[in-house]
Structures are given as structure tokens and as C-alpha cells.
Chain A
Amino acid sequence: MEKIILLHELKNIVLTPKFYSSFLVITVLLLLSVFLGIRNYKDTVKQYETVTRLSNQEMRESSDWMGLNAKMHRKPDPLQIFVSGINDDIGRYSNISTFNPVKLIHSNYSDNPVYAVFRFIDFTFIVTIILSLFVIIFTYDAINGEKERGTLQLVLSNAVLRKDYIIGKITGIWLGLIVPLFIPVLLSILIVLLYRIPFAADGWLRLFLLLSASFLLYTFFIVLGILSSTLTPHSSTSFLISLSAWILFVFIIPRAGIMTAAQIIKVPGFAEIQGRESSFEKQRWEKNMNDAQERWKFRNAEMAKFPKEKRSAIRNQKMWEWMEEEDKDRKQVQIDIDNYNVKLTEDFRNNKLQQEKLGFILSSFSPVSAFQLCAMNIAGTDINLKNRYEDLLTKYRTDFNNYKEKKQKESKSPGGIRITIDSESGLKIETSREKGTLDLSGLPALHDYSYSFGQAFLSSVKSGGIIIFFIFICLGASVWKFMRFDVR
């Protein structure tokens, strides 16, 4: 019996003009989103290659080690085609230098705010907004619509168990709406293959995981529609309920959750943190400057007791030692500043983490936000993308600065400009000698982290679980309500 109901439902869905037009729209939109995602990804790859090439060129053209700086761009991930996440909101690259901490700057949206006006369309957007809306249009009258047409009473007047009927109905609708979706999904994968997007085995597995999560969300909206159709005898009312629930889950809860968290846990602004960093940096450099002055005063006082020739000889003899001493102190200042910044950043991040955690807990009352978080975790375009990259680049900065220092020592050039003034020899300016371009062999390479399937899976389990929980709740409620539904 279930099979007959299932087939009947399948026929009811698939053979309607509503289905054809919706299916066409969904197919076009899904393919369009993938096509635009590919275009966007290719642009990002181009940006990445350009910044890397230009940074290498700038480094090669540098003539002294002291002024050597690098630019490190975030490596694009092909999964961003499907889930752009926060990819366009956070900075694309960071400068790597001795004195400035790592910071991702120049986000796509801040550089090109015209794209920020309406933002991009991606697969997740289509799933969360368009597909969910269409599912509601197909399911809001699944039960009460049959009652209004009088077919429900007719069916149940035969020897059909209510349990069999509702299970057959749900399965039929589910199959009728899920199976056709495989066509645009497979076509999307075909486009990815045709454009030769470099998906590794891991990438394919993550894509499979993403598609599974999308089907879960899709299933949730199917059972939500069926549930609302069992809640009231009128299809117009159940449509209102479904639409309100859709608005609540898609637009309100996710935003309200994050905004509530922002009100409950207050995190200092980045400008304030920057100000504190600068404040410490200034104090430390000021101290270094004063200490240096004291040291030079002491050295000069020590030399003052000798005749002029001896003074000059001592100065020539000890200059390198003094410079080393000054350099050591300067390095210590930089280490102190870096350590202070690390501590400040850590506190800032911990504070933010609390806020994020609360925000995500509150927004997880909506399976849509659970899906969005799940999708971003799978694609690696999640909230931690910025921290992951900044940590990676901070480690790289240490290697880069060590390399620079080693090379500068080997070059035996003081680097930069050194100006000395004393009452005996007057003003003396030394600039590092121009030696053509630098030999950058041995320059440490940035080993990009690989976001593995395992990481993606583990970080998405919780969100996936939330969606499954919502599915079971709605499913259970639909069956329970239908068992008590007045079919007359």
C-alpha cells in the first residue's frame, strides 16, 4: 500500500507544470551559481598568482636585506566555488616585515565595494534561500490540500492505515523533490570537471559531504512543509505558517542570534586593540631610545679621558661591538613588542571566541544557520579562516625574519642608512652599498596548510547533527499530528 501511495505522490509532484517551471528555475540558478563561483575562483587564483609574482619580483629587486619585505596571499580553495563563506570579507594578503605584525588586509569587498552591495551568489545561497522556498511551495498543502479537495477522506475510506499513508506521502514527496535535483547537481560537477578545477581526492570528499548536508537541509524543509500542512485544516493558513517559519529560520534567527551575542558579550573593537599595541610599541621604543642615549653618553664619557688619537682608535675598534649591542637591544624591543601583541591578540581572540560560541549556539536554533556553518566548515571558508591564516603567516614571519637577519649578517653590510655625528669627525653618512639584486636562494617557502576531509568532517558533525535533530522533530510531529488529523 505504501508503495502505491508513494508512486501516486511521485506522479502528483512530477507531472505538474509547477514542478517543471520550478525545476527549470532551480537548475538554471544552480548552474549559474557554479559557473559564477568558478569565475570568482579563477579571479582569486589570478589575484593570488599576481600578488605572489609581484612580491617575488619586488623582493628580487630589493638591494638590501634590511628593507626586504614580502606579501603573502591566502591560497584559494576550489571549494569556495560552492561556499564563499567569509572569503570575500576578510583580507586577501598580509605584509611580512620585521616591524609590523601579520594582518590580513585588502578584502575583496573593501577593495571593490560595488560587489558588496548585493554580494555574490553561491551554491549555499541557492540551497538556503531558493530551494527551501520552492520546497515550501510544494509541500505546504500536502495533507490539508488533499482534505480540501476531498481526496484524503476518499483514500482513508479504503483499508489504508494512517501510518502507511503518511509514511508513503513523505517518502513520495521526498523522492519526487530530491531525485530530480541530482540532474543539476551532476551537471554542476560536470562544469567543474570541464573547467579543470583542481579538486584533489580530499576536495571531492568534502564536496560530497557538502552535498549531503544540503540534502539534509532540503529534507528538513520538506518535513517542515508537511508538518505545517498537518497543523491546520486550511492550506492557506499552513502556507502562512510555512512562510513565517521560513522567514524565521532563514533570516531572523541567524541574525538575531549573532546580534544578541554581540550585546551580551562585548568585545573591544579592533581599533582599540591597535591603539593598545601602538601604545606599548611607543613606550618600548621610547625606552630603547633613552637607554641608547644613556649608553652613548656613558661610552663618550669613558672615552673623554683619553687623548684624541686614542679616542679615535678605540672608537674604530669598538664600533662594531657597540653596534651589535645596540642591535641586540633593538631586537629585544621587537621581541617584547611581538610578545605583547601575541598576548593581546590572544586575549582579544578568546573574548571573540566566547562571543562567537554564544552567537552560534543562539543561531543554531535555526537549521538554516546550522547548515550555513556546516557548509563553511566543510569548505574551509568558515569564521576561523582568518585566524588560521594569520597564525600560519605569523610562524612564517619568524622564519622570514630569521632568514633575513642571517643574510644581512652574511652580507656584512649594516643595512639602511647610518648617520654618525661627533664633534671630532663631524657628520658621516653611510648607506648600504648597492650590490644589484639579492640572491634569494634559501628563502623559506610558505607551506600552506591543507584543509583535510577529516578536519572538515569533524568540524561539521555538530551542525549536521542539529539539522538531523530538527528533521526528526518535524518528522515525528508530522506523523503524530496526522494520526489525530480530522480528515472530514
Chain B
Amino acid sequence: MLKHIVEKEIRDILISTKFTVTFTICSLLIILSFYTGAKNHQLAQAKYEAGKSENLRQIEGLTDWLSVRQFRVYLPPQPLESLVSGVSNDIGRTAEISGRGEIPVEDSRFGDDPIFAIFRFLDIEFVFQIILSLFAILFAYDAINGEKEKGTLRLTFSNSIPKDIFILGKLIGSFLALVIPLLIPVLIGTLLLPLLGIQLKGDEWIRYSLIILSGFLFTGVWLSLSVFISSLTEKSSTSFLYLMVLWIFAVMIIPRLSVIVSGAAVDVPALDEMNSKKARFISQLWSEDREKISLFKPTAGDDMQTTMNELNKFMQTNADDRDKKTNEFSSRLNEERVNKENLMQKVAFTISRISPVSSYSFAVTGLAGTSVDLKSSFRKSVEDYQIEYSNFMISKTGQNPGSGMRFVISDDNDEKPKNINPGEIPEFKFRPVLSSNLISGALKDIGLLLFFNIIFFAGAFFSFRKFDVR
């Protein structure tokens, strides 16, 4: 019996104009999102490579490692970023490395190219979140009351069909009719990825599959919700209106409001005030050190080289001491802000999970590695690299540059000093969050999507049992 209902539902949907139109639009959009995502990735990769080589080129021709300034590292574009951009375009992607001190991460893609910020990008997350959810509503808003309006529901139940089988068949049928055809453009898109130069590794394929699965689960949520609302109302026009209002609230309002509410509830210390405190503290330390520097007396007598070495050592010790005090001060301030920020984020995300849209968004951005955690993992990689860089500089120059001072001793011979080799600088390696952690982090939201599916299905099931089919 179930099989018959499922088959009928699939057949009804597949032969409808509604299906032809929506399937064409969705297919085009899905393929387009894969294509533009891959093209954007190519562009971002080219820009990243150009930035990197220009950064090394600016060092070429230098003869002294101490002259190396404005050495920058960049956040490399990640392959899955092309499908789910998340906040990857909003956060800073460049860090100017120095041997000591806090390193700010700057230059977001949207900040540098605001043209892309106006309308943002077309990615898989967007297609599922906005387009497929709307089409799911369109497919199922009249699943029950529409049949009643047409009189087919009464006809169906004049046979001995249990209500629970009917509703289950309806749901399975509409889900399969929507999802299976969509697998075609998804597969075409997947094939396009390697053809357009996006090579996914083993773990990335798993994450990619989970992203697609989350998308279909999310579509399932809207289908089951639509069937549920359709079984709660008498008229299909009413259920459609209710669903549109719910869609607007779930997609547009709740996620945004939750962040604003948590922003008002948790008082995160202002970044500008914190930065100013740090700047004033550094300036105060520097004033104190200036006094010490003016009193410096070398013990080496006439030997220039030894005097310079002594001065360098003295300056280094002062700089190390300043650095230590600054780090302690900054850590205290940063810790307080990070804790508050995390709390605010937690509150915001917990509230916003009322909407399945947020769960879906967190799941896919988490899996693609483009969630808000991307900022902290880039920062962590930069901090680790700073240690590596400073060790390298010490090994080359005997000092840790970063104070802005440069002492040069030159002799009178005309021998041209050798150029330094920029290739010796250790390469920056961005260490993203491990795939296993990303997957386990996303499982919670995938579970929530599943939960929404079950809840709405149960709702549809129980309300249909009381539904007056006459």
C-alpha cells in the first residue's frame, strides 16, 4: 500500500509543470553555483599565489636579513570554501609578520573588494537555504488540504487506506521526487570540480558528502513542515501564507535577531578601547626604556664591532623584557574579550538554532571549514608561525627583529655584499581544524536537522489523524 502511495506521489509530482519549472531552475542554479564557486576559487588561488610571490619578490635584492620588513603571510583559499563561503570573505586574510608583538590579521576580501559584499556570492549553501527551501514549500504546502480541496482525499479514503500509511507515503514520495532528480545536477557539479581544478582530498570528499546530505536533510525539514502545516489548515492558500511567514522568520529573521539579542545580552569589551590600552602601555614601556638606552655605556672600549654587539645585546634584552610585559598585559585583556566573545557567540548560536536554517548553516560552514572558527585557526597558525619566523631570524641575524631599529656596520672595502635568499624563510603553513573535529562539530547540527525532520513528521502524522477528510 505504502509503495502505491509513494509511486503515485512521485508520478504526480514528476508530471507536473511545477516540477519541470522548479527542477530546471534548481538544476541550473546548482550547476551554476558549482561552476562559479570553482571559478572564484581559481581566481582566489591566483590572487593568493600572486600575493605570495610578490611578497617574496620584495625581499629579493636585499643584502641583510635585518632589512626584511613587511613580510606577510596569507590565508590560502580552501577548496570547500568555493562551495560554502561562510565568513571566509569577511575575516582578515593577511598578517604582517614580525619577530615579536601582537600580529593583527587584516584585509578581508569584502573589505578590499566591496563590490562582492553588495550582493555576496552564489554558493551551494545559498541555493539550499533560500531556493530549495522555497521550492520544498511550493511542492508540499497543499499536500493534504490541496487534496481535500480537489476532492481526491475523500476518494482515497473511501478505500481501506490507513491514515498513517497515507501520510508516510506522501512524505516519502514528495521527498524522493524532489531529492532524486536533484542528485543529477549535484553529480554534474561534482564532476565539474576536478575539471575546473578543484582537487578534493579523501577527508574533504567525506565533508563534501556530508554538506550535500545536510542540504537534503534541510530540504526534508521544509517538506515535512509544509505537510504538517497543510494538515493543520483547511485551505491551501492559508497554509501557503503561514508557510511563507514561517520561511521569512526562519530564514531571515530568527538567525539575525539571535545575534543581535545576544550582542545586547553579553557585554563584550570594545576592541578599540582594548587596542588603545595596549598602545598606551607599550608607549609607557618605551618611554621608560628610552631613559635606560640614553644611559647605556659600552664596556668594550674602541672596538667598534664589540661595541655594536654589546649595544645589540642590550637593545635585545630591553626589547625582550618589553615584549614579555606587553604579552602579559595583552593576554589578560585578550582573555577577557575572547571569553566574552565566546559566550556571546554561544548564546547567539543556541538561540538561533530554533530555526533549522541556522542548524543547516552551522553544519555546512563547519564542514567546509568556513565557520567563525576560521578566524581563530588562522590566528593560531600565524602565532605559531611567528615563533618559527623569529627563530629563523635569530639564527640568521642573532637578534629577534621587531622593534623597528636597525644597526648597520659597514667597512670601507668595496666588496658587494651577497643577496639574501628569500627562499630560506620558512614557509607559512595554515593549519586548519582537523577534518575529524570539523565532522564531529557538525554532527550536532546534522542531528538537529534530523530532529526537526522527525518532529515535523510526527506533527504531520498526529494532526493528519485528526484531519477531517470530508
A residues apposed to B, CB below 8 Å: 17-18, 21-22, 25, 29, 32, 36, 39, 47, 50-51, 54-55, 57-58, 61-63, 67, 85-86, 89-91, 104-107, 109-121, 125, 129-130, 133-134, 137, 236-237, 240, 243-244, 247, 251-252, 254-259, 261-263, 266-272, 274-276, 278-279, 281-283, 285-286, 289, 293, 297, 352, 355-356, 359, 363, 369, 372-373, 376, 383, 385-386, 417, 419, 421, 423, 426-427, 429-432, 434
Contact = CB atoms under 8 A, between A and B. Distances in A.
Given A58-B283, A271-B50, A115 B116 contact: no
A366 B131 CA distance: 18
Contact of A107 (B111, B301, B304, B410): B111
Given A54-B272, A252-B29, A276-B54, A90 B298 contact: no
B302 interface: yes
B18 A423 contact: no
A118 B249 CA distance: 13
B118 A426 contact: no
Contacts of A430: 294
Contacts of A419: 311, 407
Nearest to A256: B122
Contacts of B116: 258, 262
Q: Which of B21, B253, B264 has the most A CB atoms < 10 Å from its CB?
A: B253
B447 interface: no
B293 A110 contact: no
A121 B252 contact: yes
A266 B43 contact: yes
Interface stretch (B69-77, B212-220, B319-327): B69-77
Nearest to B240: A137
Interface in B272-326: 272-273, 276, 279-280, 283, 287, 290-291, 293-294, 296-298, 301-302, 304, 307-308, 311
Interface stretch (B6-14, B158-166, B255-263, B459-467): B255-263
A282 B62 contact: yes
Contacts of A22: 241
Given A25-B245, A256-B122, A114 B348 contact: yes
A90 B116 CA distance: 12
B21 A240 contact: yes
A295 B439 CA distance: 64
A21 to B, nearest CB: 6
B87 A426 contact: no
Nearest to A46: B270
B54 A90 contact: no
A133 B293 contact: no
A356 B116 CA distance: 9
A237 B245 CA distance: 21
Contacts of B253: 29, 32, 121
A118 B362 CA distance: 11
Nearest to B22: A240
A271 B54 contact: yes
A134 B287 CA distance: 64
A257 B371 CA distance: 26
A278 B256 contact: no
Contacts of A261: 115
A106 B119 contact: no
A118 B280 contact: no
B110 A47 contact: no
A421 B304 contact: yes
Contact of B118 (A116, A118, A376, A423): A376
26 contacts: A25-B248, A39-B260, A50-B273, A58-B279, A90-B114, A106-B106, A110-B91, A110-B92, A113-B87, A113-B90, A247-B131, A257-B119, A258-B115, A262-B43, A269-B47, A269-B112, A271-B93, A271-B107, A279-B54, A285-B67, A289-B408, A359-B115, A372-B118, A383-B114, A419-B407, A427-B298
B131 A130 contact: no
B217 to A, nearest CB: 20
Which range holds the interface residue count of chain B? 35 or more
B48 interface: yes
Interface stretch (B32-40, B186-194, B386-394, B449-457): B32-40
Interface of A is mostly: helix
Nearest to B344: A114
Contacts, number: 286
A57 B273 CA distance: 11
Contacts of A255: 119-122
A373 B237 CA distance: 34
Interface in B320-368: 341, 344-345, 348, 352, 358, 361, 365
B372 A114 contact: yes
B50 to A, nearest CB: 4
B321 to A, nearest CB: 17
B176 interface: no
B57 A275 contact: yes
Nearest to B54: A275
Nearest to A247: B131
B415 interface: no
Contacts of A85: 118
B114 A86 contact: yes
Contacts of B27: none
Contacts of A269: 47-48, 50-51, 112
A419 B294 CA distance: 9
B435 interface: no
Contacts of B283: 58, 61-62, 67
B241 A369 contact: no
B54 A259 contact: no
Nearest to A50: B272
A427 B311 contact: yes
B271 interface: yes
A50 B40 CA distance: 38
A239 B193 CA distance: 34
In order of increasing CB-CB distance, the 4 nearest A-B pairs are A275-B54, A271-B51, A269-B47, A279-B58
Contacts of A62: 283
